[in-house]
Amino acid sequence: MIAPAHPLLSVERLSVAFGGLQAVSNVSLEVPSGAIISLIGPNGAGKTTLFNCVTGFVAASSGRVCWEGTPVGGLRPERAASLGMARTFQNLRLFGSMTCAQNVRIGTHRLENEGLLGAVLGGLAWRGRRERMERIVLEAMAFVGLEGEADRPATSLPYGLQRRLEIARALASAPRLLLLDEPAAGMNPSEKRDLAGLVRRIRDRGVTVLLIEHDMPVVMDLSERIYVLDHGELICEGAPAAVRSDPRVVEAYLGKA
């Protein structure tokens, strides 16, 4: 197999500043297609800010983000979604007034192009497309293990399942890159194992995964490559085994001896 010429996503010397605070400084990373890449680091290291920048929620102060080798400037969230990025949020952001299935249905928004005229005129094509979309919704829910919960109010799910629902919503948009922000937070060990299995199955479906996670066993188990951030700077990158034994990483997490 010939390796693609460009990584799916690459971040080049990216910096994000909020006023005087340098949240991310001069970070470069590459996410090759079909990989599971992790971003770790202590609290406040700038991981989520980097995520927000890649998905267009905050603007970079310098550096750039490239999608398949092409720089995407002035990125906005809806543009990131149309490129094929989907994300979950550290603090769940489900649509509170909707059922589980309705939440996932919003994920299919970008797959449709129905405008005002289509909505008003309707017709047979419309019915066929609706059925196709609803099949995608059910399939995504079954994939994360939420079959049978379609009509349940989303916020009535237990916390762990709400995280899975958010993943299902992201998957329903048929993304090429899935960005997961601390998906294992607040889960017990067996839920974490299930989640790791789910992430692996997502990758096996051909969706590239970029993961922020605190839980070391999960990260070490899943990742092909790990990037370590501390105080907004990249302090280490490499394969799990190398990162684990790197003295700078140990120092960042445990403090200097």
Partner 1 sequence: MTARNAAIRAAGWGGATGLLALPMGGMAVALWTACSAASWCVLASVLGAVPSPKRMLASAVPEHWRLTGSRIVGSRRAGTFAWFAAAIGACVLPALLGRAETNLAADVLLYIILALGLNVTVGEAGLFDLGYVAFYAVGAYAYAILSREGDAIVAWLGCASPSAEGMLTALRAQGIGFWAALPVAGLVAAAVAALVGLPVLRLRGDYLAIAMLGFQQIVQRFLENEGALTGGPSGIDAPRPAFGSFTFRTRSDHYYLRLAVVAILILLLRRILSSRIGRAWRAIRDDELAARSMGIDVRRARMLAFMIGAFCAGVAGVLFAAKQNRITPSSFGWQESIIVLSMVILGGRRSLAGVILGAALLTVLPEALREVLRGALREGFEDYRMLIYGALLVCMMALRPQGLAGRREACG
Residues found near partner 1 in the complex (CB under 8 A):
55, 57, 76-78, 80-82, 86-87, 89, 93-99, 101-102, 105-107, 109-110, 112, 114-116, 118-120, 122, 131, 134-135, 137-138, 150-154, 156, 169, 173
Interatomic CA distance for residues 207 and 133, integer angstroms: 19
Count of all residues that appear for the chain in the document: 257
Spatial CA neighbour of 51 closest among 89, 7, 13: 89
Residue carrying structure tokens 């497309």 = 129
Interatomic CA distance for residues 155 and 203, integer angstroms: 27
**Closer residue to partner 1 in complex, CB, 110/203:** 110
**Closer residue to partner 1 in complex, CB, 81/196:** 81
Minimum CB distance to partner 1, residue 185 (Å): 17
Phi then psi for residue 55, to 5 deg, are -95, 10
The separation between the first and the last C-alpha atoms of the chain, rounded to the nearest angstrom, is: 47
Identify whether the C-beta of residue 10 lies closer than 8 Å to the C-beta of residue 66.
yes
Give the number of other Cβ atoms within 10 Å of residue 228's Cβ.
23
Spatial CA neighbour of 24 closest among 10, 9, 37, 13: 13
Q: 74: which residues sit within 8 A by CB, 6+ positions away?
A: 59
Minimum CB distance to partner 1, residue 80 (Å): 8
Q: Coil, helix or strand for 92?
A: coil
**Closer residue to partner 1 in complex, CB, 114/191:** 114
**Closer residue to partner 1 in complex, CB, 101/249:** 101
Minimum CB distance to partner 1, residue 25 (Å): 25
Phi then psi for residue 113, to 5 deg, are -130, 20
Q: 200: which residues sit within 8 A by CB, 6+ positions away?
A: 36, 222
Minimum CB distance to partner 1, residue 115 (Å): 8
Minimum CB distance to partner 1, residue 178 (Å): 12
**Closer residue to partner 1 in complex, CB, 2/120:** 120
Tokens in use for 19? 């006023």
**Closer residue to partner 1 in complex, CB, 169/225:** 169
Minimum CB distance to partner 1, residue 111 (Å): 9
**Closer residue to partner 1 in complex, CB, 110/244:** 110
Minimum CB distance to partner 1, residue 194 (Å): 24
